[in-house]
Amino acid sequence: MALVAEQGGTFELAEVEIDEPRDDEVLVRIVATGLCHTDLTMRHFLPPEMFPHVFGHEGAGVVEAVGSLVEGITVGDHVVLSFRSCRECAACKAGDVGYCEQTLLLNYMGMRADGSTTMTAGDGAPVFGSFFGQSSLARHALAHADNCVVVDPALDLRIAAPYGCGFQTGAGTVLNVLRPAPSESLAVYGAGAVGLAAVAAAVAEGVTTVLAVDLVADRLAQAERLGATPVDASGLEPAQVVARVKELTGGAGSTYAIDTTALPVVVKQAQQALAPRGTLVALGLGPEEYQLDAIDLLHGGKRVMSSIEGDSDPLEMVPRLLALREAGRFDLDALVTTYSFEQIGEAVEDVLAGRVVKPVLVW
């Protein structure tokens, strides 16, 4: 396991005990796990009493055991893991599983619904986990039928792992939330894994004006490869970025915008660079507050909103995106850089420094 022993601590490999699967659980031998900014951020956000903790929510692996009540999953299946939902509340029955009434309990509380943890230390002390219903920064993870997506066993699980969260979130925001027409425009702020997935989805939908705004040349090059017009914001004042986006979208501004940076100054300029009645979706996790331009917001009839996982149901969205990949219309393979789990510290440093887009840890 990649264990975080205390609030704000580093990821350290350690041995812990994991339970046998209960009747409703699935034991997965993890082959690969994507490292997401949420994993890095939550180790600072969670209170001290919720440590030690095992994170990880972009797991992919092979099913080793299945509880007696689990349907549709068998031993030997290859699966991509995603977030959990109860599938019984009003939101879930309406198809809005990302807004499940049990989201906090099922994904963030570090334990099962009955208060037990799925892992213990050698001395029997509890180890918190069940992160997104998996805690897949580990050799094995306990998941459930609602967050296990069975995939083709020929699929490279190192490539498939990020589809459980990062790629799904970016693409889902385009495909499920904004649904841009080809004649409309989209500006994506932050060309990381989520932002580039949004770019790829918009291009796949035939949107002709897609912009990617970032500071890192390599990430802008990836955006251009995927079909976006790169906007290098390095050395530019916020007003200059706004002016550049408006210039590239015919003067009025972008119809839609997606922010993945979670930087308040960037969110504000994304709003200001919207066309009248445009929509900005803020996806980044980090600050407690954003400062908006109230006059621009009110006079422009603009909308600022958020989305959880791109309003996706992983049981539907992951296969949909993998089918687009198979058809050559969603080519994000080049964004993945693999590391051994022993290199987790290096992977964290590289993604924070912008040297890689999507680190994936492999056993």
The overall longest dimension of the chain from CA atoms, in Å, is 64
Residue type, 304: V
Q: Residue 288 pLDDT more than 90?
A: no
Closest among 126, 92, 93 to 112, alpha carbons compared: 126
Eight-class DSSP state of 24? T
Phi and psi at residue 275, to the nearest 5°: -70, 160
pLDDT single digits (tens) 97-155: 999 999 999 999 999 999 999 999 988 999 999 999 999 999 999 999 999 999 999 99
* pLDDT on residue 25: 98
* pLDDT on residue 111: 96
* pLDDT on residue 257: 98
Q: Which residues contact 44 (CB under 8 A, 6 or more apart)?
A: 7, 8
**Tokens 């994904």 belong to which residue?**
107
pLDDT single digits (tens) 31-57: 999 999 999 999 999 999 999 999 999
Q: In which element (H, E) is residue 311 found? A: none
Give 184's pLDDT tier (boundaries 50, 70, 90): very high
Total-model pTM: 0.96
Q: Domains plus CATH for the chain?
A: 2-164+332-362 (3.90.180.10), 167-309 (3.40.50.720)
Percent of the chain clearing pLDDT 90 (strictly above) = 97
Structure-token pair, residue 59: 């797991």
